[in-house]
Amino acid sequence: MDGPAVLAANAALQRVLASFPKQDAGACESSARSLDVVVGLEGGIYFVRVDRRLDRCGWPMGSQLEFDWFELYAVSPEGKVLGRRAFMP
């Protein structure tokens, strides 16, 4: 990944982590360990999708706390979050 893509991924990841309940702060399910980040570039804007991977916390493969949870962020090359689209059917 190039430097701006890393900044974009970090900005989105920090937003997601800040949204988790404070009482769950020490749990693996509410940590960066349980998240996947996918970064794409289109028109000079990075699009970052954050998915949960609870199997990294000892849960069975495919386990979810919510059905098909993910968040999508638009982030500038400087790491500024421009927009967020949460998806939870």
Tens digit of each residue's pLDDT (9 = 90 or more) over 17-39: 898 888 877 788 788 888 999 99
Question: Bigger pLDDT: 69 or 41?
Answer: 41
Q: In a 3-state reduction of DSSP, which class is residue 43?
A: coil
Output the pLDDT for position 74: 97
Whole-prediction pTM: 0.80
Q: Which H or E run includes 16?
A: helix 3-19
Q: How many CB atoms lie within 10 A of CB 15?
A: 16
Output the pLDDT for position 76: 97
d(CA 66, CA 69): 6
